[in-house]
Amino acid sequence: MIINKPPMGWNTWNTFGQNISEDLILKMADLIVQSGLKDVGYEYVVIDDCWALKERDEQGRLVPDPAKFPHGMKYLADKIHAKGLKLGMYSCSGLMTCAKYPSSLDREWVDAQSFAEWDIDYLKYDFCFKPANRRADELYRTMGLALRNSGKDILFSACNWGYEDTQKWIKTTGANMWRSTEDIFDNWPKIKEILLKQLDLLQSGGKGCFNDMDMLVVGMHGKGNVGLGGCTDKEYRTHFAAWCLLQSPLMIGCDLSKIDQTSMELLKNKKLIEINQDELAAQSYFVSLRHALVSNEKLGLVRPLANGDLAIGLFNLTDDKRQLFTSLYDYGIKRGSGMTLELENCFTGEITRPDNDVIWVDLEAHDCVVYRAKIVKA
């Protein structure tokens, strides 16, 4: 599988954990279509951990739990495909999955064959219970090879949390995305931690194999499997904006049958999604912030876009209101060039130009602003 844009979809884990079923998957798939999420690009419906029986069958094959998936996986894949969506599944490279179901260690070839026969489009591959004498890169290379030789084009989503210096070898596995941090929880400290960790990994990722900052918690409001505390709407906005700016895959994790309007609108923000999906897939970089004590909790991040625009995100991760300044010089627009930026606010649609070659914003605690900036004559 070759991909040039971060995958978008929905995954069972964040809200439903082990409480998954065919009915749930079909219901969420219908909601992805009816709500318009499909129209803005969300396409993968991913069944995470806890789908299998604890024992393999007599041929050594994984068996979907018939109490949860009474018609099996091929039936479900056909139903999902008929809705214009794609089906994802989950396995693990260690001795068991994280929730202690059977995993694919030394069964990679037979399992890849099952996924292909079931017409699965995406495999998330986890890292729990890895034997100490085995190397992560070898385990992920084996499954990557098995998937590419399974006869079906299957997106390979590696999930070893950045352990064993993943960024140094992940592209040897043929993976299409790799989890660059540990698990997300639905609270601000976790979102901030993941975002800050990601900043050391900006040179990895990009076309073919994107840095995966983990599934979205937007709209969870403290409910469900990883709903540990919940976030404010402003924090969800900052979370989604950061994931879009840094080109993370966008896998929704909330219950789509209970989602509030504000969260739904955020997840469908076309301007942010366009930035996330931009085909140049360039690396993001920092701009320095002026007139402020510089710390990594006040961030200016930029990414060049394919049509010549810049995506600019100014983030206040501190617990206080802050004013952030950046100079046009730092975006490559020098005084005397005759050029300036026309800034389109991706949340409000408002268009402004910098005053005196400076972009400045007042941001509440945990807030951000993202602009799509056009380079125009001053």
Q: Which of residues 1-20 bind ligand GLA (CB under 6 A)?
A: 13
Residue 346 half-sphere exposure toward CB, CA atoms < 13 A: 31
Task: Tell me the two tokens of residue 310.
Answer: 């810049």
Question: Which residue in 117, 183, 233, 297 binds ligand GLA (CB under 6 A)?
Answer: 183
Q: Is 49 in the site for ligand GLA (CB under 6 A)?
A: yes
C-alpha to C-alpha distance for 32 and 256, rounded to whole angstroms: 8
Say how far apart CA 189 and CA 142 lie, in whole Å: 35
> Least distance from C-beta 210 to ligand GLA, angstroms?
16
Does residue 266 bind ligand GLA (CB under 6 A)?
Answer: no
Give CA–CA dist 218/310, Å, rounded.
Answer: 25
H/E element holding 287? none
Q: Is 217 in the site for ligand GLA (CB under 6 A)?
A: no
* Alpha carbons 75 and 72: distance in angstroms, whole number: 6
Q: What is the DSSP letter of 59?
A: T
Residue 347 Cβ vs ligand GLA, minimum distance, rounded to whole Å: 28
Q: Is 214 exposed, middle or buried (0-12, 13-18, 19+ CB in 10 A)?
A: buried
48 scored as a contact of ligand GLA (CB under 6 A): yes
Least distance between ligand GLA and beta carbon 378 (Å): 47
CB-facing half-sphere around the CA of 150: CA atoms within 13 A? 29
Binding residue count for ligand GLA, defined by CB under 6 A: 9
* 121 in active site: no
The question of whether 165 is a catalytic residue gets the answer no
Residue 278 as a binder of ligand GLA (CB under 6 A): the answer is no
Binding flag, residue 126, ligand GLA (CB under 6 A): yes
Active-site position among 65, 137, 183, 233: 183
- Round to whole Å and give the CA distance between 313 and 63: 45
**The pair of three-digit structure tokens given for residue 263, joined into one six-digit string:** 């969260």
Cβ closest to ligand GLA, residue 159 vs residue 220: 159
DSSP assignment of 8-35: EEEESHHHHTT---HHHHHHHHHHHHHT
Distant-in-sequence, close-in-space partners of 163: CB < 8 Å, separation ≥ 6 = 127, 136
> Which of 46, 73, 89, 98: binder of ligand GLA (CB under 6 A)?
98
We find the least distance from the C-beta atom of residue 162 to ligand GLA, in angstroms, to be 11
Q: Which residues pair with 344 in a beta bridge?
A: 351, 372
Binding test (CB under 6 A) with ligand GLA, winner from 159, 252, 259, 301: 159
Applying CB under 6 A, among 26, 40, 99, 292 the residue interacting with ligand GLA is 99
Catalytic choice (111, 119, 121, 126):
126
Exposed, middle or buried by CB within 10 Å (0-12, 13-18, 19+), for 318?
Answer: middle
Q: What are phi and psi of 274, to 5 degrees?
A: -60, -40
Q: Is residue 212 close enough to count as binding ligand GLA by CB under 6 A?
A: no
In the complex, which residue's CB is closest to ligand GLA? 98
- Coil, helix or strand at residue 269: coil
Q: How far is the CB of 103 from ligand GLA (least distance, A)?
A: 10
339-345 and 351-352 beta bridge pairing: antiparallel
Catalytic residues, by residue number, are 126, 183
Residues near ligand GLA (CB under 6 A): 13, 48-49, 97-99, 126, 159, 183
